[in-house]
């Protein structure tokens, strides 16, 4: 093993130990106290939020805004979003007073080379997500040590074992809402009188890119409308090699 490989491995071990410590030390904090500690004490200036401005995004963004409206908010502008999502983004920015929302787009040269007709979502959805989400979020997160997500255990089976803190090859990941259930999310949206994504009322409880998202049918799971014509269940930003 070379010195560089040894250094990388030692860095990964250190990061995982740090995450274990964070889970022990902060697991019983409510989301606002947790976020305040992370933003102001543990990782000041090195933390960002990654959000889709989707069906439940207002909850996480409101919790963050209660601590600081200036935390960087990373949005992956894939070029394939519903127009309602882009309108909703502006609604939430104004409602919450967010000051640092960053729209991160895919590399135009990559899109021209790999998806000139804009149909890659149909031919290879994994490749499409790689170009339009994974590569942009990897670049956007380079200045940061930590990213905050809105993932929750109840959303699907793959998320059922999530912890509040995770580690990957490069970052600490924080899931402050991981233990919330569907009722708690709905109650918070109502109690805080937060604007709702306009597609929620039309049967879209989980909202991604327009070509790969449909309304769900009665009795279907919350994310059944995502990539429903394939076995794909996640866009991949949490599964990419650098993000695991």
CATH code for position 27: 3.40.50.620
Residue 209 pairs with which residues in a beta bridge?
Answer: 81
Per the rule left: phi > 0, alpha: psi between -120 and 50, beta: everything else, 21 is alpha
Q: Which of 73-77, 123-127, 164-168 has the lowest mean pLDDT?
A: 164-168
pLDDT in tens, 4-25: 555 445 556 677 888 888 888 8
Residue 55 near residue 207 (C-beta atoms within 8 A): yes
Can you give the pTM of this predicted structure?
Answer: 0.90
Query: Does the pLDDT at position 108 exceed 60?
Result: yes
172, 148 Cβ separation under 8 angstroms: no
The residue to which tokens 């979003």 are assigned: 81
Tokens of 172: 């600490």
* Pick from 2-11, 44-53, 147-156, 221-230: least confident: 2-11
Judged by DSSP in three states, 94 sits in: helix
* Residue-number span of the structural domain to which 200 is assigned: 3-243
Burial zone of 141 (CB within 10 Å; 0-12 exposed, 13-18 middle, 19+ buried): buried
User: By C-alpha distance, which of 238, 235, 199, 192 is closest to 61?
Assistant: 192
Task: Name the percent of the chain in helix, strand, coil, to the closest 5.
Answer: 45, 10, 45
Structure token pair of residue 99: 């000051």
Give, as one character, the DSSP assignment of residue 132. Answer: I
Residue found under tokens 């609604």:
91
CA torsion 53-57-63-68 (nearest 10°) is -10
Confidence of residue 99 (pLDDT cuts 50, 70, 90): very high
Q: Torsion angle, CA of 140/133/97/42, rounded to 10 degrees?
A: -50
Q: Quickly count: other Cβ atoms within 10 Å of residue 201's Cβ.
A: 8
Say how many domains are in the chain: 1
pLDDT beyond 70 at 2: no
pLDDT of residue 1: 46
Rounded CA-CA distance 209/134 in Å is 14
Write out pLDDT tens, residues 136-179: 999 999 999 999 999 888 776 667 778 889 887 788 999 999 98
Cβ atoms of residues 56 and 95 within 8 Å:
no
pLDDT, average across residues 93-97: 98
The catalytic residues are 235
What's the rounded Cα separation, in Å, for the pair 188 and 101? 23
């Amino acid at each position: 093993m070379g010195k560089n490989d040894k250094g990388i491995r030692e860095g990964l071990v250190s990061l995982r130990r740090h995450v274990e410590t964070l889970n022990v030390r902060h697991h019983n904090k409510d989301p606002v106290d947790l976020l305040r500690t992370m933003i102001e004490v543990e990782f000041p200036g090195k933390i960002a939020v990654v959000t889709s401005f989707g069906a439940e995004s207002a909850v996480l963004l409101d919790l963050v805004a209660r601590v600081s409206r200036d935390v960087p908010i990373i949005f992956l502008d894939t070029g394939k979003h519903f127009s309602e999502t882009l309108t909703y983004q502006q609604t939430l920015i104004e409602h919450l007073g967010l000051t640092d929302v960053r729209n991160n787009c895919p590399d135009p040269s990559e899109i021209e080379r790999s998806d000139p007709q804009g149909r890659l979502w149909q031919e290879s959805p994994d490749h499409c997500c790689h170009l339009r989400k994974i590569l942009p979020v990897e670049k956007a997160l380079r200045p940061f040590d930590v990213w905050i997500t809105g993932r929750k255990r109840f959303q699907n089976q793959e998320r059922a074992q999530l912890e509040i803190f995770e580690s990957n090859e490069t970052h600490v990941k924080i899931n402050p809402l991981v233990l919330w259930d569907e009722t708690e999310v709905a109650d918070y949206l109502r109690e805080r009188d937060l604007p709702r994504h306009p597609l929620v009322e039309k049967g879209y409880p989980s909202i991604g890119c327009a070509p790969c998202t449909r309304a769900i049918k009665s009795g279907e799971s919350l994310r059944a409308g995502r990539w429903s014509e394939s076995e794909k269940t996640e866009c991949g930003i949490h599964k990419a090699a650098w993000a695991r």
